[in-house]
Structure 1
Amino acid sequence: MSVTHEKTMLKAFDNTALRRAMDLARETIDIEADALRAVHARLLDDDSVGRAVGMLLGCSGRVVVSGIGKSGHIARKIAATLASTGTPAMFVHPAEAAHGDLGMVTSEDAFIAISYSGEAAELLSILPIVKRMGAPLIAMTGNPQSSLAQLADVHLNIAVEKEACPLNLAPTASTTVTLALGDALAVALLDARGFREEDFARSHPGGALGRRLLTHVRDVMRSGDAIPMVTADVPLSAALFEITQKGMGMTAIVDAAGRPAGVFTDGDLRRMLDKVQDFTKVTIRDVMHASPHTVHPEQLAVDAVAIMEEFRINQMLVVDADGKLVGALHIHDLTRAKVI
């Protein structure tokens, strides 16, 4: 689209048109909110969701979700939500299922079929086979008397009074209700299975939550020769050389057994510049901070972040079960690992 044409269109979109657009946006949200309230009220006297959850919990295979058109898009999302919250699930396109993909479905699976009319020919052509397999069938339709609803072991009613589309044609309120019911199933199953944050993280290792709950201190700490450390009897100048060489802005001070006795940082050096006249007479023992904060390699990296934030420090020492120094951690290491 040319810049001139775009400007012409924007000019034509006058205040009256803008107000109408805003009114339609609000009306759309109102209609969809009303549809959700209606299905909520309907479920107060209906145990269908509970029976569907029980059926899905009893499934030893996967939950297969299917639908075509807009229902197919919603079915994909429901399958994805189930899979990411502890219920193995997949989407199968009904047309492809009729040409071989039905081989993915077994008698151990449970089948969720979605069609607002309940008469989608592509679904109805494969469901008798699903039933003969012995797979339990859950139908989501807007018509309890439809062919699909009558085939189902459990029917979830997704009927809406009207669509948000001004023509009452495009699936809008009905898809919102279907999606919400799918989420309701997923959340109920999540709770029944005792699904926790750690489980969610395992299925989302590439996401922020996965990094926070799966990254341990051992994964990001510096170890071996990269650890800045000196003994307590070395002169301050030697400690400063170690800080410069290792590039962590600090050095650990260890005892004869390799346990941290203290820590000295760049900040400590700046604070003592006005107090010490002759650095050649100072040993690191004289100026170190004793009893430094430490973490263990097996702790989550977010635990180290919490300690750093609490005590306003940028570096930490890592010790093993015997208290020996095995690593060092800088806040930049945690940033690079995207823990923070």
Structure 2
Amino acid sequence: MNEFDRRTFVTTARRVVATEANALQQLESTIGTEFADAVELLLSTKGRVIVSGMGKSGHVARKIAATFASTGTPAHFVHPAEASHGDLGMMARGDVVLVLSNSGETPELADLIAYTRRFNIKLIGIASRANSTLIRQSDIGLILPLADEACGNGVVPTSSTTMSLALGDALAVALMEHRQFTPEHFREFHPGGKLGAQLARVKDLMHCGEALPLANTQTSMSDVLIEISQKGFGVSGIADGLGTLVGIVTDGDLRRHMSGLLDYVAEDVMTQSPQTISPETLAEEAVAIMNQHKITCLFVVEPQGAGNAVGLLHIHDCLRAGLG
């Protein structure tokens, strides 16, 4: 590959991005009252949002449906060709159907559109032609501007699909902002993967109950060693007579008191005022605290309570969840 070809690739990429960015600017300037009408219809629906499209529009429709579903708007994708062979039954009164088609004349959409009209199912159409069949049949039509496709010859859907995707994202964000959708809600829909890990709270990952290594200040060190060994975290929390966490015994504490260790009780060996964390704290923040203090675990304490330990978070728990 010569240097001229490499420069050409970069030039092409910049042209494509600039063309699609210009298309998005055109779209932004055309958004008006019909968009607000569409959001109000989606908010008022008692059923689900059915999103559909064919070809490239179908791929965009799948993404829009997934975004709706993950941000508090029940939605799923229906393939228009499959709809003609039984999947029309996935739509019912009370649903809203959102259909994408750049031309608005995609033949495979005919049965789906007819079904919504026959059973009085609300239809929102997204297309670039105001006089197209899709827009004329829709209860609400969202018109895409006639922007240049980025491919150069106007054949490959590029700018048009980018605008459709952006319009779907705009609908989803408008809905979630109106519903005051919070990171906590988002976590409920994303319990796995990186997003789930970043939004996980300490209480989601901590060990508690019988798994919690805990001893009393007057517990003999022989019993503390048994507690550390049985629970397997290499530490034990130390509580006073009221159950308040007042210290922690670690491997380092054991090494510093090797001489006559078994003659001591827990309060003689423990490190006082250990680092603790609230169960409601994001686990990502817990990792930062452990890294900062070069420790491998944190006892979890209810901030409103008497300082009783309710759990233990180990760095390995965070790593397994995808943090760190």
TM-score (norm 1): 0.81
1:211-250 pair list within 5 angstroms: 211-214=197-200, 216-217=202-203, 219-221=205-207, 223-224=209-210, 227-233=212-218, 243=228, 247-250=232-235
Alignment correspondent of 1:132: 118
The yes-or-no answer on 1:288 pairing with 2:288 is: no
C-alpha contact (below 8 Å) 1:202/1:214 kept by paired residues: no
Could you tell me which amino acid in structure 2 is paired with residue 195 of structure 1?
F
Alignment correspondent of 1:167: 153
Q: CA deviation at 1:258?
A: 4.5
Farther-moved stretch of structure 1 (67-76 vs 328-337): 328-337
1:283-322 pair list within 5 angstroms: 284-295=266-277, 299=280, 302=283, 304-305=286-287, 308=290, 313-318=295-300
Alignment correspondent of 1:261: 246
- State the identity as a percent: 43
Farther-moved stretch of structure 1 (56-65 vs 201-210): 201-210
Q: CA deviation at 1:221?
A: 1.4
Alignment correspondent of 1:210: 196
Farther-moved stretch of structure 1 (57-66 vs 125-134): 125-134
Alignment correspondent of 2:101: 115
For the pair shown, the structure with the greater C-alpha radius of gyration is 1
Q: CA deviation at 1:305?
A: 4.2
Could you tell me which amino acid in structure 2 is paired with residue 329 of structure 1?
L
Instruction: Tell me how large the CA RMSD over aligned residues is.
Output: 3.0
Alpha-carbon distance change, 249 to 61 in structure 1, aligned in 2, over 3 angstroms: same
Separation of aligned partners in 1, 2:163 and 2:127: 11
Alpha-carbon distance change, 148 to 334 in structure 1, aligned in 2, over 3 angstroms: closer
Separation of aligned partners in 1, 2:88 and 2:215: 67
The yes-or-no answer on 1:329 pairing with 2:313 is: yes
Alpha-carbon distance change, 234 to 86 in structure 1, aligned in 2, over 3 angstroms: closer
DSSP 3-state at the match of 2:97: strand
Alpha-carbon distance change, 278 to 69 in structure 1, aligned in 2, over 3 angstroms: closer
Alpha-carbon distance change, 31 to 337 in structure 1, aligned in 2, over 3 angstroms: closer
Separation of aligned partners in 2, 1:18 and 1:57: 49
Alignment correspondent of 2:171: 185
1:30-109 pair list within 5 angstroms: 30-43=18-31, 46-109=32-95
C-alpha contact (below 8 Å) 1:49/1:156 kept by paired residues: yes
C-alpha contact (below 8 Å) 1:220/1:337 kept by paired residues: no
Separation of aligned partners in 2, 1:136 and 1:194: 25
Could you tell me which amino acid in structure 2 is paired with residue 253 of structure 1?
I
C-alpha contact (below 8 Å) 1:220/1:334 kept by paired residues: no
Alpha-carbon distance change, 149 to 290 in structure 1, aligned in 2, over 3 angstroms: same
Separation of aligned partners in 1, 2:263 and 2:129: 90
C-alpha contact (below 8 Å) 2:254/2:261 kept by paired residues: no
Q: CA deviation at 1:138?
A: 0.9
For residues 111-161 of structure 1, the C-alpha deviation after alignment (integer angstroms, 9 at most, x for no partner) is: 111111111122133312202211111111111111211111211111333
Could you tell me which amino acid in structure 1 is paired with residue 64 of structure 2?
I
C-alpha contact (below 8 Å) 2:49/2:95 kept by paired residues: yes
Q: CA deviation at 1:106?
A: 0.8
Unaligned 5+ segments in structure 2 are none
